C-alpha cells in the first residue's frame, strides 16, 4: 500500500489576539501583548466581539445545550470550511485539555445543591461532544474522536489525523484543539501547581525563554486545520514528519535534559527522512515556566548543532492549552512561507531574539509541544513551494 502524501489546505485560529492567522501575524510583528489582569489573575480572554458571537450562538437550536468550548470550536470550523474543501468522507479529531469546563463545573454545583440535571448533561459534558459537534456542523461521515494530551493536545490531534488518512480511514481530516477554561477553579489549580506567572503590572507577563520568566498564563482559544490527501488548490504546507514520546517524570513536567522532546523530534525527522540541519525554523512550546522552558531549550541544544531560529508565541496570547500547539503550527507555516522570524519584544537589548529576522532558507518547519506528565510531540511541515502536488 502506497501511503498518500498529506497536505494542509486550510487553517484558522481564534485567540485573545483576534480571529484569523493574519491578525495574529500583525500582532506578533507589532510587539502587541493581549494578556490582561482580571479576577486577580493575569490571563488571556477572547476579544469582546468574539465573545458576543459566542454568546449569540447559544440561541441556535443545535448549540443551545452545548458548553461554550464546543460552540467556540463549531464557530471556528464554519469559517474553516469556507476556505477549503471539506468532503463528507472526511473525519475529525478535535481535542481539549480541560474539556467542557463550564458545563462540568455548573453541573457538579447543581448536583450538590440537589437540583435535577437536564437530560442532555451526559452527552454534552463528555470529551467526545467536541468532535461530534464539529462533525455534525460540517456533515462529516468519517471517524470522529477526541484526543487529550494536556498542553500538547493540538499536535497529537494533527498526528492522529495524519495516521487516520494514511491508514485509509478517511480521505482527509479536520484536526484541532480548543480551550475555554478560564474559571476561578482552573486558575487557582494552576497557581497551586506553581506554574502560573507572577507578573502583575508587567508589560509582557509571559516571557518564554527569558531569564526572568515566571510562569505560564492561561488563555482561551481554538485552532484547527484541514489535512487532505488530494488538494484542489495550492496548500499551506505538506505534512512530512511527526513524532511523539513519553517519559517517566513528574506529574507536571519533563526531565531536566528534555530527553523526551529529543526523542519526539528525532522520531519526526526519521518519518520525514530529514536531518537536524534540514530544519530552518522551530516553533517551540515556550510556556514560560522556569523548569519547563529550561528542559525544552536543553533539548534543542542536544538536537541542533547549527543556530536554528526558535520562535515562541505564548508571550502574545498566552497558553490556550489544548489549542496552543495547533495555533503554533498554523502561524509557523506562515513564518516559513514569508521567510520571517517575528521578534520577542521582552528579550534584552542586543539579544538577536528581540528583533525581527529573515530566514536564510525556507525548507522545513519543526513545531514542538510538551504536556503535563512527561509527554512530547513534534511535527515537521515542508514549504509548499517545494512540494509537487
On whether residue 339 sits in a domain, the answer given is yes
CA distance 244 to 257: 17
Q: For 265-319, what is each residue's pLDDT tens digit?
A: 999 999 999 999 999 999 999 999 999 999 999 999 999 988 899 999 999 999 9
* pLDDT of 56 strictly over 90: yes
Report the percent of the chain where pLDDT is more than 70: 99
Q: Confidence band (pLDDT; 50, 70, 90) for 114?
A: very high
* This prediction's pTM: 0.96
On whether residue 374 sits in a domain, the answer given is yes
CA distance 19 to 327: 11
On whether residue 336 sits in a domain, the answer given is yes
Average pLDDT of span 24-52: 94
Averaged pLDDT score across all residues of the chain? 94
- Judging by beta carbons within 10 Å of its beta carbon (0-12, 13-18, 19+), is residue 165 exposed, middle or buried? buried
Q: Confidence band (pLDDT; 50, 70, 90) for 387?
A: confident
Average pLDDT of span 48-63: 96
Q: For 239-251, what is each residue's pLDDT tens digit?
A: 999 999 999 877 7
234-262 burial, b if ≥16 CB within 10 A, otherwise e?
Answer: ebbbbbbbbbbbbbebeebbbbeebbbbb
Residue 258's CATH number: 3.40.47.10
Per mean pLDDT, which range of 196-200, 204-208, 232-236, 302-306 is the poorest?
196-200
Give the per-residue pLDDT at 373.
85
- What cell numbers appear for 113 in the block? 445543591
Beta-carbon-side half-sphere exposure of residue 364 (alpha carbons within 13 Å): 19
- What cell numbers appear for 258 in the block? 528534555
Q: Confidence band (pLDDT; 50, 70, 90) for 351?
A: confident
Q: Confidence band (pLDDT; 50, 70, 90) for 366?
A: very high
Q: At what angle do helices 68-81 and 48-56 cross, to 10 degrees?
A: 100
Residue pair 181/221 in contact by the 8 Å Cβ criterion: no
On whether residue 389 sits in a domain, the answer given is no
Length of the chain as a residue count: 389
Number of Cβ atoms within 10 Å of the Cβ of 26: 13
On whether residue 238 sits in a domain, the answer given is yes
Domain count within the chain: 1
Q: Confidence band (pLDDT; 50, 70, 90) for 1?
A: low
* pLDDT of 181 strictly over 70: yes
- What is the 8-class DSSP label of residue 310? E
CA distance 193 to 161: 32
On whether residue 1 sits in a domain, the answer given is no
On whether residue 59 sits in a domain, the answer given is yes
On whether residue 317 sits in a domain, the answer given is yes
76's enclosing H/E stretch is helix 68-81
Which residues, 6 or more positions from 111, have their beta carbon under 8 angstroms from its beta carbon? Answer: 117
* pLDDT of 82 strictly over 90: no
CA distance 124 to 130: 8
Q: Which residue segment(s) compose the domain that 66 sits in?
A: 6-384
Q: At what angle do helices 21-29 and 324-338 cross, to 10 degrees?
A: 70
* pLDDT of 389 strictly over 60: no
- CA angle in degrees (0–180, nearest 5) for 12-319-108: 100
Q: At what angle do helices 101-112 and 68-81 cross, to 10 degrees?
A: 160
Amino acid at each position: 500500500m502506497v501511503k498518500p502524501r498529506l497536505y494542509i489546505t486550510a487553517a484558522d485560529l481564534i485567540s485573545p489576539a483576534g480571529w484569523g492567522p493574519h491578525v495574529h501575524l500583525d500582532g506578533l510583528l507589532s510587539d502587541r501583548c493581549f494578556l490582561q489582569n482580571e479576577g486577580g489573575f493575569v490571563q488571556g480572554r477572547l476579544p469582546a466581539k468574539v465573545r458576543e458571537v459566542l454568546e449569540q450562538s447559544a440561541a441556535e437550536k443545535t448549540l443551545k445545550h452545548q458548553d461554550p468550548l464546543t460552540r467556540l470550536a463549531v464557530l471556528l470550523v464554519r469559517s474553516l470550511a469556507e476556505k477549503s474543501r471539506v468532503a463528507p468522507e472526511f473525519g475529525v479529531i478535535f481535542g481539549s485539555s480541560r474539556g467542557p469546563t463550564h458545563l462540568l463545573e455548573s453541573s457538579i454545583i447543581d448536583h450538590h445543591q440537589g437540583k435535577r440535571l437536564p437530560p442532555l448533561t451526559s452527552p454534552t459534558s463528555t470529551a467526545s461532544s467536541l468532535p461530534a459537534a464539529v462533525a455534525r456542523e460540517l456533515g462529516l461521515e468519517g471517524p470522529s474522536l477526541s484526543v487529550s494530551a494536556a498542553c500538547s493536545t493540538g499536535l497529537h490531534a494533527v498526528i492522529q489525523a495524519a495516521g487516520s488518512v494514511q491508514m485509509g480511514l478517511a480521505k482527509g481530516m479536520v484536526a484541532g484543539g480548543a480551550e475555554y477554561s478560564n474559571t476561578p477553579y482552573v486558575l487557582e489549580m494552576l497557581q497551586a501547581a506553581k506554574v502560573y506567572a507572577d507578573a502583575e503590572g508587567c508589560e509582557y507577563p509571559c516571557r518564554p525563554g527569558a531569564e526572568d520568566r515566571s510562569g505560564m498564563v492561561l488563555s482561551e482559544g481554538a485552532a484547527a486545520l484541514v489535512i487532505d490527501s488530494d488538494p484542489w488548490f495550492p496548500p499551506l504546507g505538506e505534512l512530512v514528519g511527526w513524532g511523539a514520546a513519553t517519559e517517566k517524570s513528574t506529574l507536571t513536567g519533563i526531565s531536566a535534559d528534555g530527553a523526551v522532546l529529543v526523542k519526539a523530534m528525532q522520531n519526526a525527522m526519521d518519518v520525514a527522512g530529514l536531518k537536524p540541519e534540514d530544519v530552518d525554523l522551530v516553533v517551540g512550546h515556550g510556556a514560560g515556566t522556569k523548569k519547563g522552558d529550561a528542559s525544552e531549550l536543553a533539548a534543542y541544544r542536544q538536537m541542533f548543532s547549527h543556530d536554528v531560529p526558535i520562535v515562541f508565541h505564548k508571550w502574545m496570547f498566552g497558553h490556550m492549552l489544548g489549542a496552543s500547539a495547533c495555533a503554533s503550527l498554523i502561524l509557523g507555516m506562515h513564518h516559513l512561507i514569508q521567510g520571517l522570524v517575528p521578534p520577542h519584544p521582552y528579550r534584552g537589548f542586543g539579544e538577536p531574539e528581540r528583533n525581527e529576522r529573515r530566514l536564510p532558507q525556507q525548507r522545513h518547519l519543526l513545531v514542538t509541544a510538551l504536556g503535563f506528565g512527561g509527554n512530547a510531540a513534534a511535527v515537521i511541515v515542508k514549504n509548499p513551494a517545494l512540494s509537487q502536488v
